[in-house]
Amino acid sequence: MHFVYQRSQSSGAPTVVVLHGWPYTFVEMLPLAAALPEADVVVPSLPGFGFSTIPDGYVATSQAIADTVHLLVTEELGVDRYLVYGEDVGAPVSQWLAATRPESVGGIHDTHAVFASRDDLRSEEERAFYRWFDAQWDGTMGYAGAGNARHDTIAASLADSPAGLAAWMVEKFRDWSDCRGEVESRFSKDALLTTVTLYWLTDSFVSSYRPTSRAWSSRPCRSSTCRQRSRCSVMSGGIRARSPSVPTAISAGFR
């Protein structure tokens, strides 16, 4: 697993693990790491993203990635206690860490956190939130359906066209930021092209989709465009496994 390890000059600094999402890489997390000079910051590339390949037999579920991250931090870096930030596909990884490694994880902070089941809604305020949430995403999820169910088909075209890959990815930077439709008001061309180039040079578009599913089959990936095809698992769509049970509120500091 590729990672960046930023060490603090402060004695006794806490360790913070920062987990990126999709279609991002470790690069987008580096400014956050730089903003935490009082902490030791670990920024992994999730399996299948950029410089982190998928080993033989590895099934890239959130739980498996959580186990890998924990081994990286505790076995490779020798850290016994740490905090975790996760976003997008990194968020369920952080929740698995908190649920299964409470002796090591002092706290988590997530964006794109997994919400409670709608069957458990108890107040009008909660129901109003879901109505607002649904309205925000209405008509925008086509990329997810196509990408999750037919990622190998899409990859065949994107692996052959840098412009196509850039269009697919930069659209998400525009839509998922507060740029009001002007993507370069928030991201420079250099920043955008750095991320696109990482995906292009490592040929990791199709493998980066692996952690976005909640369930996987054991069949090997047969995509002719995936450099990791002997090590990828093929997604079985339409199945959603339960997320780990974690406390609603988790302390931001060490307990």
Beta strands in 89-140 (DSSP E): 105-111
C-alpha span between 144 and 34 (Å, rounded): 31
Environment class of 191 (CB within 10 Å of its CB; exposed 0-12, middle 13-18, buried 19+): middle
Supply the pLDDT for residue 148. 67
Q: What is the mean pLDDT of residues 218-244?
A: 37
Structure tokens at 255: 């307990």
Helices (H), 62-105: 62-71, 90-100
Task: Give CA–CA dist 105/111, Å, rounded.
Answer: 17
CATH-assigned architecture of domain 3-111: 3-Layer(aba) Sandwich (3.40)
- pLDDT at position 17 over 70: yes
**pLDDT of the residue at 226:** 45
pLDDT for position 245? 44
Among 81, 96, 14, 4, which residue's Cα sits nearest to residue 43? Answer: 4
Q: Is the CB of residue 41 less than 8 Å from the CB of residue 33? A: yes
Give the pLDDT score at 222: 43
Q: Residue 69: exposed, middle, or buried by beta-carbon count in 10 A (0-12, 13-18, 19+)?
A: buried
- Taking residues 26-35, what's their average pLDDT? 96
Listed residue (112, 111, 109, 87) closest to 98, CA to CA: 109
pLDDT at 220 over 80: no
On whether the CB atoms of residues 45 and 3 are closer than 8 A, the answer is yes
Whether 100 has a pLDDT exceeding 80, the answer reads yes
Work out the percent of the chain whose per-residue pLDDT is above 70.
Answer: 76
| Interval 147-196: pLDDT, tens | 666 767 777 778 888 999 999 999 999 988 899 889 999 999 999 999 99
Tell me what the mean pLDDT of segment 96-123 comes to: 86
On the question of pLDDT at 98 being above 60, the answer is yes
Question: From the centroid of its chain, how far is CA 12?
Answer: 28
In this prediction, residues 88-103 reach a mean pLDDT of: 94
CB–CB of 23/195 below 8 Å? yes
Residues 208-228 have a mean pLDDT of: 48
Segments making up each domain of the chain, as ranges: 3-111, 137-235
Which residue's entry shows tokens 């928030």?
186
Q: φ, ψ for residue 134 (rounded to 5)? A: -60, -40
User: What mean pLDDT is reported for the chain?
Assistant: 80
The yes-or-no verdict on residue 34 having pLDDT over 50 is yes
